[in-house]
Every structure is written in C-alpha cells, then in structure tokens.
Amino acid sequence: MNANEIDRHLDIWFDVVEPRSAPADVLPGVFAVTRTTHQRHGLAGRFATLAAERRMPARVESSLSFRLLVVLLALLVTIISVAGAAGALLQMFPRSVEDGAIVVETVGPPRGLALLLPDGTVTAITPPDREEICAIFSPDGSRVAFFSAPLRTAADPEPAYELAIANATQGAARQLPVRAYRLPQEPSPPSWSPDGSAVVAVLLRPDQSMPISGDLMIVPINGSEPRPLLRSPLVREGEDTEPGLYRFQGVQWSPDGAWIAFRGELFDDQGWRYFVGVVRPDGSDLRLLDRWPLVGSLEWGGVVWSPDSTQVAYHRRPEGVASGGMDVHIASIDGAPVRPLEDVANAFVAEWSPDGGRIATVGLSVDSAHVFDVESGAAAALPVDGATYGATWSARGDRLAVLGDDSLWIVEPDGGETSEILAGVTSSLCAAVGPSLSWQEVGQ
C-alpha cells in the first residue's frame, strides 16, 4: 500500500466516521460554571465607571495611604473578575478586606491596573497608552511588580511586555530594564525574592520565534542587568526539538531565599515529560524533583513552598496513570521520594499553612477546595460553593481566605464559621499559572 492509497483510505474513513454535528447537550455544562455575575456592595458599578475612565491620565489619591501591614495581602496570580452593569469586566487582586484596599486589573482590551482604596475610590495607575497585567505585591506590600506593554497598533500588533514596578503608595510605575522580552503564550506571573530586591520571571528571548517557551530570568529592581537563570533551547519553526527544559511555569522563590521552584516540560531521550524542579538563585544546583509523562491536560499551575523551604507541593497526575485528575504531591529538595496526598481529583495547590502542617487547595471542580493534612495526607473539604481560584492562610493558620466563582470567603477549616466577605465577583483565569494569596494579621 503506497502513500496515496493511505491518504485515500483515510479520506474515506474520515468521511464515514466524522460526526456531522455536535450533540445538543455538548455545551450546557460550560455555562453552569461561567455564572452570570451580579452586583452586590455596589462595587461593580464603580468598576464599570473606572473602565470608562481608563483613557484618563494615571493618578493616585495621595491622601489615602495604604495600610501596608493590614489584613489580607493578595499576592501572585489569582484574579477576581468583576462585571459591571455595562458589561465592563475587571480583574482584581484583593489587597486587604477589612480596610478595603484592593488593587484591580481591568481586563480590556486594554487591560490595566488600578487601586481600590478604603473609601471606595478607584484610581487607574496604568497610563492610557499601555496594557498591564499580572501584578504581584512585594513581600512588604510597598511595591507591585507587573508586566507592561504598549498598546497594540497596526505597525506593532504584538508589542513586547516589559517588567515594571509601581510604588504602592504613589502608583507611579518605573520600568525595569527588561525591554526586549516578550511573554510566553501562557504567561506566568513574576515572583519576588523574600528581601524584595529582585523578581524572577519567565520571559521569551528576542530570537525565540515560537512564543511557547521562555527562560527563567532574575531581574534586580535596583536597575542592574537582568540575569538568565535557566534557558530553554530555542524553538523555531522547521527545527527538531533539542533536549532541555521548556515552558517554565509557576515560578516561586522559597521563603528563605535560597531556592527558586518551578514546573515545566522536559524533553530528553525518553521523550516529553512534565517536571517540577528547584534551582539556586545563582543558577547552580538544578534539581528535578519529579517527572511524569506529558500526555495530560491542566498541567499548568503553581508550585508552593513549605514554610521551612525544604519541600514543595504541586499538583500532577497520580503515579502510573497516563492522565486523569490532578492530585497533590509533595517533593523534598533533598531528593526523598515524592509523596502523593489523598486522591482528590483536580485539587490545585494554593498555599502551605504557616505551621507547615496543612496545605490548602482550590480548583475548577466544585469540590476542589480542600485542606490536606501534610503528615497523614488526608483531605477535608472546605464549605464553599462552586469553583475556587485561590486560598490563603491567616498568619495564625486558623482561617483561610478563599476566592470563589462569585465570592471571597473566610473559612475556619477546623469547623468554625464560614463567612462571605466580598460578593458580586467572578474569578478568572490566573489560577492557571499558580494561585496564591497571602494574609498578614494586623500589626505583624
């Protein structure tokens, strides 16, 4: 049988077996998840107004200072989207709840950043000629790191993003010296060093012709040159894949500052696999803690550190299973065997408790929000409704803030009360690249 016959056979077979239309019930499940948002607390209306005002110059109301050491400090990637009456959609990083200081991200186009201050004032910090995403607060809450790009134009339809920081009390953005980089197709938010002196981010090199795999870069915020930490082999059209590490995601600096954890895809003589790894901030001592076959989906997300910086938790398919729901696993940087926790499908790691004893998870499935006991591996479901996108512990570890499809909840996981503290919101995608929030008690 020659090649032409194979093609003809395939054509005939495809004609017979290809369905002519989708079943009528193929769609409904989608819309059960993407709930219509609604307005409570009057927030959505203000955000709609803000969206209309995005053309105005950026400014910050200086009389309203941030209360930096107060309550729920939202970091990293979880974004809540808020839809206003006029259909405007914003994503926001809750910064504090009781005092009401919040940073919001408009979902444009163009997308931009703005501050929701304690009195309800919303002020844009993104200039009208730029698009800005993925804001991450510094460890002390005084600054925000984010990606910033000029607006698309006909002459430059795909402008490069730059890393930028804004002073959280003044809002003025200062570009970091990373001007030639674009973001991968699935961007991963930057992560601050514990001392706030640098961020680590996944960025594309200028000569990377396919926007699918970036490099790990450390960018000092003092203006000195960015430093490549780990590089992916270049991916170009028409070239075969080289062995190496690709598609870094979920990058996170360890609490002690000694390591950087990440996940991604590995290509070697055994083919493609997913991996979780750590490396020293100087690029030395690369350790791949876990690898598994690359055949599944939802293989994106975060890696979270234990408070003592000795272990990382992440989600992956169970051992020996080609695909299926994501389960929480723990790997030690000393190379001890990887340990799966209780099988709870599609649980995405969110944050390790301050005492190291528990791990909170979230996820798209309605029953993904759990608290896992690290020692026993057992899981207990959290009493929140619907999909969840981020969870963070209070400093004492006795409460969790959980971002849901429609609400921000405070949960006492040991059986206490669950209260809804912010409603009328709907979550968006940034859990895709590693959900995380953090919480500081007043005065700490």
Partner 1 sequence: MTRELVELAQKGDHEAFEHLCGRMAGRLYATAVLVLRDGEAARDAVQETLIEVWRRLPMLREPDAFGGWVQRILVRRCYAAVGRRRRLAEISVVDLDASTASPEADLVLVDQVERAFRRLTPAQRAILTLHHRLGYGDTDTAEILGIPVGTVKSRLNRAKSALRASIDADERSVTSTKGQLA
Q: Is 12 in the site for partner 1 (CB under 8 A)?
A: yes
Q: Which is nearer to partner 1, 103 or 168 (CB)?
A: 103
Please state the closest distance from residue 338 (CB atom) to partner 1, in A. 18
Site string for partner 1, 196-225 (x = CB under 8 A): --------------x-x-------------
Site for partner 1 in 310-339 (CB under 8 A): 317, 321-325
Q: Which is nearer to partner 1, 37 or 353 (CB)?
A: 37
Q: Which is nearer to partner 1, 100 or 184 (CB)?
A: 184
Q: Is 29 in the site for partner 1 (CB under 8 A)?
A: yes
Binding partner 1 by CB under 8 A: which of 347, 371, 432, 437?
Answer: 432
Please state the closest distance from residue 339 (CB atom) to partner 1, in A. 20
Please state the closest distance from residue 405 (CB atom) to partner 1, in A. 10
Q: Is 376 in the site for partner 1 (CB under 8 A)?
A: no
Q: Is 15 in the site for partner 1 (CB under 8 A)?
A: yes
Site for partner 1 in 111-170 (CB under 8 A): 111, 133, 157-158
Site for partner 1 in 34-93 (CB under 8 A): 34, 36-37, 81, 83, 87-89, 91
Q: Is 343 in the site for partner 1 (CB under 8 A)?
A: no
Q: Are 339 and 367 in contact (CB under 8 A)?
A: no
Please state the closest distance from residue 295 (CB atom) to partner 1, in A. 5
Kindly indicate which of the ranges 237-245, 249-257, 307-315, 415-423 contains the residues binding partner 1, using the contact rule CB under 8 A. Answer: 237-245
Q: Which is nearer to partner 1, 187 or 226 (CB)?
A: 187
Site for partner 1 in 241-280 (CB under 8 A): 241
Kindly indicate which of the ranges 14-22, 93-101, 191-199, 283-291 contains the residues binding partner 1, using the contact rule CB under 8 A. Answer: 14-22
